[in-house]
Each structure stands twice: as structure tokens, then as C-alpha cells.
Amino acid sequence: MLAPTSPASVALLSLGASLRARGYRFTTPTPLTHQRVNQRPDNQQAHTLTDVFGWSRPFSRAVLEDELFELMCQAEVLEAHGEQWISRVRWSSLGDDLFVHSRFPTTDADAVFFGPDTYRFARAIRAHLRQDTRPVTRIVDIGCGAGPGALTAAQLRPEAEVLALDINPRALAFTAVNARLAGCFNLAARHSDLLRNVDGVFDLIVANPPYMLDPQQRTYRHGGGAHGAGLSLQIFDAALERLAPGGTLVLYTGVAIFDGEDPFFDALQPSLADLGWVWDYEEIDPDVFGEELEKQAYATADRIACVVLRLTRPL
């Protein structure tokens, strides 16, 4: 596994900088869209940087410049694929920044995901911080993945201390690279299960937890509990204890809707009513990952929706 200052990590950072210097950009679609695009006859192998580092297509040695190929070797992200090669990582754009994360398909147990949820999550954080102009000194991203949420918050509040937490060492290594590539130095990546390894309270807690039921229970995908809501509920409970007065939780997650009812919101309602805190709950995308409805866990679900809960503790 990459350590933040290991030669492989330094080479990965240099690879990202080299791609950025070449004007590389890539918007990551859903896995199903990625699969469909790659299955087209003309997309069986890579011809461009986007094919190699975005679409995760096999490539011949002639496709890459010597500098990029050597950096991939040093970063330990180059894998033989028959007589060709394939990148073990992808690079995706979010605003002006590039983020390294796991290649497609994300089948490894410690895969680090980045996709349409990432863009919606970052948008929710930006919307909150543009609206709430109160001073923020401590921010934490629970389950940071590749770090886009933490980095978005850190860039918008450069005076704040920002912690990016995850149980996945690969995610923390990628977050450290992504923060350094963005020139963001008020962000620290730490290993933690929820908030167990960090002290104190926070002015802003953000989270984009996994919310599916995954038979393989991969950390980036499996939410646990009833229909994948288990981890989201744990984050809600943890935030109640660790928000500073005036602090806010911004929780982006997905929920399976049954007979027009949202069981995640139903589970939250008693606590929201008892607390008397300021909150809002918005369904921001009514239908995602429709292919999951073909699986037994969602056989009776109407749809899977993306929601944002924003909860603020009184001063």
C-alpha cells in the first residue's frame, strides 16, 4: 500500500502533475455507462490519454510518452494485460482539480470509488458553504474515499483544519496525493472508523457513505443495515455527539424507496423531532443505479434516490 511519502506515492503525484500539464480531463460516468461505452467495437483498446487514464482501456507501449510510462512504473500502477498494458488507477476531473482513484471496474475489496455521486456530493458542500458564512475552524469528512469532499471544503475554507477519515489505507493514500496535487495544505488524511480515532468537536461534518447492499461487502460500496442505510444512520448518530454549537452535518447518501416511502428518513424522524435542531432534507436525484432493482435486495423497491440531509446544532 502507498505511504504518503513513499517513492511510489511521489511518482503518482508526478504522474498527476504531468497529466494536468498536458491538459488532461475526464468526467467519470456511472459504472454501467462506463461498461456500455467500453463495449463499443472501436473502444477495445486505448489510443489517447483519456482512453488510458479515464476509460481504463488496454494500451500498447507506443500510446504513452516515455515520461508517463516511466512514472507509471515508479508509481506501481502499471499492469501487464496480455501483450499490452493497463493502468491500475483512473484520473478524474472535479472543477480544476484531478483526482486519482481506482480503475474500472472497481472490483477490488479496497477499491476507491469516484463517480456521479462524487460530483453531487461536492456540489452539496459548495452550496452549504456559500450559504453559511459563519467562521469554520474544524471540518471532517467521514469516509473520504479519494478525498473530493474534504478537498472541496478545505479549498472553500482555507483557514480551517480539515480531516479526511477512512478505514481504507488506499483511500487515504490517494487522498494525500490528491490534496498535494491541488496545493491544499490544510487537509490531513487519517485512519479512523467513523470518528473513533479523532478528538474534539467540528464546525462541519460531511459524509458521502456507501449506501448499497454489496454481497462482497466492499468498503467503498456496502452500506449495511436495511437496504444499505446502516452506515448513513451511524454517521448521523456520531455527528450528533461531535458537532460544535452552530455546527452542521452535510450528509449525502442514497435511499431505496418502497411504495413511495423513504425508510431512511422515517428512521431519522424521531431524532429530528426530539432534537429541535434546524434541518432540511432534499431528494436531489430521484432515480440512480436502476440496474440494482434487478437484484434480490431491491426486488420490491420502487427506485433508489439520492438525498442530502443538512442538520445544524443550535448555538
CA–CA distance, 263 with 207 (Å, rounded to integer): 19
238, 307 contact by CB (below 8 A): no
Model pLDDT, residue 2: 57
Question: What residues does each domain of the chain span?
Answer: 7-102, 116-312
- To 10 degrees, what angle do helices 148-156 and 116-131 make? 20
Residue among 276, 280, 284 at smallest CA distance from 311: 280
Scored b (16 or more CB within 10 A) or e, 264-280 reads bbebbeeeeeeeeeeee
Point out the residues of the chain with pLDDT beneath 50.
Answer: 1
**Complete DSSP assignment for 228-241:** G-HHHHHHHHHHHH
Model pLDDT, residue 215: 74
Q: Is the dihedral of CA 224, 229, 235, 236 positive or negative?
A: negative
Model pLDDT, residue 106: 92
Model pLDDT, residue 1: 46
CA–CA distance, 174 with 2 (Å, rounded to integer): 8
Residues 6+ apart with CB under 8 A from 127: none
State the DSSP code for 41. Answer: G
CA–CA distance, 244 with 136 (Å, rounded to integer): 10
CA–CA distance, 22 with 44 (Å, rounded to integer): 24
Which CATH number fits the domain 116-312, given the four candidates 3.40.640.10, 3.50.50.60, 3.40.50.150, 3.40.50.970? 3.40.50.150
Residue among 178, 257, 157, 255 at smallest CA distance from 209: 255
Model pLDDT, residue 5: 72
Q: The pTM is what?
A: 0.95
pLDDT tens for 187-239 read 999 999 999 989 999 999 999 999 987 777 777 777 788 888 899 999 999 99
